[in-house]
Structure 1
């Protein structure tokens, strides 16, 4: 509800332009959600929880779509040459993991061990089939991160979104959930076998790399932080509004992406320029 300054407008402009170019390149549909009216007039406004309702609206708006990708505004697609099919979905089992013990910053006990549950609910990988994956989320140093995640259209997803948005749970627990909808999803995953058996995790740097200013209490983490040499797909300036420069980070990554994705002619020109600059910098021989 605050006025946007030039830097906020610049972040929004660059982020939206980045997503538009990517979706136009690969033939995906892009749905940009403007929350200002909803925030002003909704009887109950839950900051960031609205993504649950937004996803349900997208299900109705795009009835033929199978997978939906949520991206926060402070994200930037670094490698537009990666399609989602080649990067993730063509080898979904290889690119995801079902057993949270592979990386478990929340120390969630997994799998369930109660004897009254079926074999699938007590398995660390559910049924092990990629067809049963309906939610794909990365984890950062503190647990689930929903700045970039995928959800599949299904009856399971409809049920999850209903429970996730449940106002009764919200009213009872929202003061305990510091990270809001992320904490709520963690609670549901930890408590409900029917949810856990259809969730898969994806290495964070596959779809949601962080800059070094985020999750850096223990220094740089190869599982979390962006690496230029590995050409990470997406970078998420998570938490930049808390003591960091959102626009500075967005601008730096935009410039880096442009540099890394130069065409052959641009690379040739840059090579010539570098050589010329090198010659000019050489010390002249003394007479």
Structure 2
């Protein structure tokens, strides 16, 4: 019996003949891809615009409108200053703010829960409070109760925070904590990039007069400063030494900091020559007067009360 053998595969395949149906198939495939891409795009637009879809675009940072231009913040501590002195401080702040269309936040120590931290930390919470109550303010200026505004003609937004002014005034490549801190202010920083303005005295950074540009960075900075770790640490000068720490070890904060001459923002009634108040200076401070008792600040400031009142009356 004989069986038919299957045909052998030739080693010479037949010549390639193009399939006439390939081009229409390719066109169909491309058409399907375009249709799918269009469907994905329309679905994305639909989800983006539907109010109830649960999809939310990432919001742009909120830009304050500058209304008011400045909020002047002072914390009043009746345990450290007598009543007559605090009333004078209030009048000083209110008259200055009224002249320039600013707002004030005159807080009391008892207004805030500091979680057992020293009362001096209230200045940080008060600035956070100002950001919440005045979301469209352009600047927050904290001025400690141990000082008076002496020159009512100086405006924060024009005479200090205006970028060209800051370019002239800021101290570049300066040790943050004098005299020989290895951490220095940025040498290439421009006025338009500054969000925090401070001064130094002979001991280091001061937190008794601070200007902060409102924005997301300002809230980040204040929340960092008020962090529980820093409040729990036994810094000798509480919030002031905490401020020095975060400025030196957080480049994100140092990169927005300008240090200006003390007499620009925070002259002293006594101290080194470069610290001393002169006629025409913006502010006069009575550092540590409250440490000598509730009556001491009133006593030290008395010679200057009539001077600032006369200056305000003449403008």
Between the aligned partners of 1:106 and 1:255, the Cα distance in structure 2 is 37
- Helix, strand or coil for the counterpart of 2:222? helix
Q: Are the aligned partners of 2:267 and 2:283 in contact in 1 as well (CA < 8 Å)?
A: yes
- Helix, strand or coil for the counterpart of 1:242? helix
Match of 2:49 in 1: none
- Gaps of at least 5 residues in structure 1 are 112-122, 265-287
Match of 2:109 in 1: 35
Between the aligned partners of 1:17 and 1:262, the Cα distance in structure 2 is 13
- Helix, strand or coil for the counterpart of 1:97? coil
For residues 49-98 of structure 1, the C-alpha deviation after alignment (integer angstroms, 9 at most, x for no partner) is 12222211111111111210001112101111222234212322112224
Measured after TM superposition, the shift of residue 3 of structure 1 is: 7.0
Measured after TM superposition, the shift of residue 146 of structure 1 is: 0.9
Cα RMSD, aligned residues only: 2.5
Q: Are the aligned partners of 1:71 and 1:148 in contact in 2 as well (CA < 8 Å)?
A: yes
Match of 1:21 in 2: 95
Between the aligned partners of 1:36 and 1:247, the Cα distance in structure 2 is 22
Match of 1:72 in 2: 144
1:170 aligns with 2:243: no
Between the aligned partners of 2:86 and 2:314, the Cα distance in structure 1 is 26
- Helix, strand or coil for the counterpart of 1:100? coil
Between the aligned partners of 2:302 and 2:144, the Cα distance in structure 1 is 16
Between the aligned partners of 1:3 and 1:243, the Cα distance in structure 2 is 14
Greater share of strand residues, 1 or 2?
A: 2
Between the aligned partners of 1:3 and 1:193, the Cα distance in structure 2 is 37
Measured after TM superposition, the shift of residue 188 of structure 1 is: 0.9
Match of 2:242 in 1: 184
1:235 aligns with 2:284: yes
- Helix, strand or coil for the counterpart of 2:212? strand
Q: Are the aligned partners of 1:98 and 1:199 in contact in 2 as well (CA < 8 Å)?
A: no
Between the aligned partners of 1:4 and 1:56, the Cα distance in structure 2 is 23
- Gaps of at least 5 residues in structure 2 are 1-76
Match of 2:121 in 1: 49
- Give runs of aligned pairs for residues 1-287 of structure 1, distance below 5 A: 8-38=82-112, 43-90=115-162, 91-101=165-175, 104-111=177-184, 124-125=186-187, 127-171=188-232, 173=233, 175=234, 177-212=235-270, 216=271, 221-228=272-279, 231-243=280-292, 245-259=296-310, 263=314
- Helix, strand or coil for the counterpart of 1:32? strand
The one of the two structures with greater contact order (alpha-carbon pairs below 8 A, sep at least 6) is: 1
**Is the alpha carbon distance of 1:13 and 1:143 closer, same or farther for their aligned partners in structure 2, counting shifts above 3 Å?**
same
The TM-score, its normalising length taken from structure 1, stands at 0.74
**Is the alpha carbon distance of 1:70 and 1:134 closer, same or farther for their aligned partners in structure 2, counting shifts above 3 Å?**
same
Between the aligned partners of 1:70 and 1:132, the Cα distance in structure 2 is 20
Between the aligned partners of 2:109 and 2:138, the Cα distance in structure 1 is 24
